Amino acid sequence: MLLSSSLGIHILNKNLLRRESAFLKFIYFLDNAGRVSLNSRISKKPLR
């Protein structure tokens, strides 16, 4: 009983970590996109 519950918690933590990393990647992607668009706006060049 104890082993199965700890295993369930471990699986839950793994899923949470995976979701969190995906969320962080999304945030980083948005941040990079914003920076690129800002740089292109400053240099007045069309974004490739």
pLDDT in tens, 1-48: 566 678 788 888 888 889 899 998 999 999 988 888 888 777 776 555
What separation in angstroms does the CA of 41 have from each of 34, 36, 37?
10, 9, 6
Confidence at residue 47, expressed as pLDDT on a 0 to 100 scale: 55
Whole-angstrom Cα Rg for the chain: 20
Confidence at residue 46, expressed as pLDDT on a 0 to 100 scale: 59
Confidence at residue 45, expressed as pLDDT on a 0 to 100 scale: 61
SS3 label, residue 37: helix
Confidence at residue 10, expressed as pLDDT on a 0 to 100 scale: 83
Q: Are 37 and 31 in contact (CB under 8 A)?
A: no
Q: How far apart are CA 15 and CA 28, in angstroms?
A: 20
